Copies of this chain bind each other. A is one copy, B any other.
Amino acid sequence: MKYTALIMAGGRGERFWPRSRKNLPKQFLSFTDSGKTMIQLTVERILPLVDIGDVYVATNRDYKSLVKEQLPGIPDANILCEPVGRNTAPCIGLGAMHISAKYDDAIMMVLASDHLIKDTDRFRSVVESACEVASQGNNLVTIGIKPNYPETGYGYIKFLPDEKNEDAYRVDRFVEKPEIEVAREYLKSGDYLWNSGMFVWKVSTVLEAFKGFLPSTYKGLLDIKASIGKDEEDKVLEEVFPTLESISVDYGIMEKAESIYTIPGDFGWDDVGSWLAVSRIKSCDEDNNIVNGNAVVIDTKDCIIEASDKLIAAVGLKDIIVVDTEDATLICDKGSTADIKKVLAKLRDGKKDKYL
């Protein structure tokens, strides 16, 4: 069966402001020494498994030209522009309908465009196992991540260690972001994985699930499918997509469906959730600083300094993040990265939209 992939690239990634902007979100930025952007690395990772003509990118209209620019090999028709954001279920449904319009059935991988993976070979091996399990019956496979610390910012997947199918385990249930004590128990038990939001299934299986669990969404998606490749395609998408229920695929389908499997991934996954991730990705100097660009650093420890052309002089700093761009400079304590969104809120209120 044909392997296809849907890459979800509609996110706005405010947490990487000021490097990320409304018009240039995280997935289109580079955080590694390779210089390649997150979405370029995502596609590169799966190309040994999937023809580039079978890679679909779901994004919003504003980012279409960025996708074309960064991924010139992907056919125009495979760049699916959501007229509005409607969470992951409609996005995945849209991708599934496009694939089912092209192939009777196919394996469909659903991947995030803004995660980093260190061990690409291991990742591909896990994805291949997932494709194997997904090709059987009506299995929906989610790729879990073996936790190595009690993270409270992710949802978890509880699997049944005794119900194994190839490399996959049957999923008992999905659980919400836990409190720290609960997260510690999850880590200790060994039966919990982080929910990475990467899935593998047959198009026929996931569409059957939409039909069963999200019937009105399914009906709307069928209308969209009927228009694919026709003159009215854009018009129908524009009319129907905004009417679809905004719901995540986890909540709308995965938590309700039978035959859910997960494969524990151990391929050095990082969701690059904030500037703090840069410390995990890039190499540090002897004082545990990450320093890039035009910078002079004196008596400074555990800092991230992302300079650009302008000279940044850091003196006596500890645990500070400095990110310089052409029109804005962020200076943020490492403990306050969650408050970067408050800067954006202030900029919106203060009629300084040009910095967003």
Instruction: Given A311-B327, A311-B352, A328-B311, verify A317-B299 contact (CB < 8 Å).
Output: no
Q: How far is the CB of A292 from chain B (nearest CB, A)?
A: 15
Copy count, this protein chain: 2
B310 touches A327 (CB 8 A): yes
Is A276 an interface position by the 8 A CB rule? no
Q: How far is the CA of A203 from the CA of B243 in the complex (A)?
A: 90
Taking CB atoms, residues of chain B closer than 8 Å to A313 are 17-18, 328-332, 340, 343
Q: How far is the CA of A339 from the CA of B316 in the complex (A)?
A: 8
Is A251 an interface position by the 8 A CB rule? no
Give chain A interface residues in 307-344, CB to chain B under 8 Å: 310-318, 320, 322, 324, 327-333, 335-337, 339-340, 342-343
Q: How far is the CA of A18 from the CA of B315 in the complex (A)?
A: 12
- Measured CB to CB, the nearest residue on chain B to A328 is B311
- Complex partner residue of A339 from B298, B310, B330, B339, CB under 8 angstroms: B298
Give chain A interface residues in 238-285, CB to chain B under 8 Å: none
Q: How far is the CB of A311 from chain B (nearest CB, A)?
A: 4
Q: How far is the CA of A22 from the CA of B347 in the complex (A)?
A: 36
A311 touches B355 (CB 8 A): yes
Taking CB atoms, residues of chain B closer than 8 Å to A355 are 311
Band of interface residues on A: 35 or more
Is A346 an interface position by the 8 A CB rule? yes
A332 touches B310 (CB 8 A): no
Instruction: Given A298-B346, A339-B298, A343-B298, verify A324-B315 contact (CB < 8 Å).
Output: no
Is A77 an interface position by the 8 A CB rule? no
Taking CB atoms, residues of chain B closer than 8 Å to A350 are 296
A336 touches B315 (CB 8 A): yes
A317 touches B343 (CB 8 A): no
Most buried by B among A17, A312, A316: A316
Most buried by B among A322, A331, A350, A355: A331
Taking CB atoms, residues of chain B closer than 8 Å to A339 are 298-299, 315-316
Q: How far is the CA of A18 from the CA of B320 in the complex (A)?
A: 20
- Measured CB to CB, the nearest residue on chain B to A352 is B311
Instruction: Given A298-B339, A320-B320, verify A330-B315 contact (CB < 8 Å).
Output: yes
B327 touches A315 (CB 8 A): no
Give chain A interface residues in 56-113, CB to chain B under 8 Å: none
- Complex partner residue of A316 from B317, B329, B333, CB under 8 angstroms: B333
B347 touches A296 (CB 8 A): yes
Q: How far is the CA of A298 from the CA of B322 in the complex (A)?
A: 15
Which 10 residue pairs of A and B lie closest in terms of their CB atoms, listed nearest first?
A316-B336, A316-B333, A315-B332, A311-B328, A313-B343, A298-B342, A313-B330, A315-B336, A296-B346, A315-B339
Task: Please list the residues of chain A having a beta carbon within 8 angstroms of any beta carbon in chain B.
Answer: 17-18, 296, 298-299, 310-318, 320, 322, 324, 327-333, 335-337, 339-340, 342-343, 346-347, 350, 352, 355
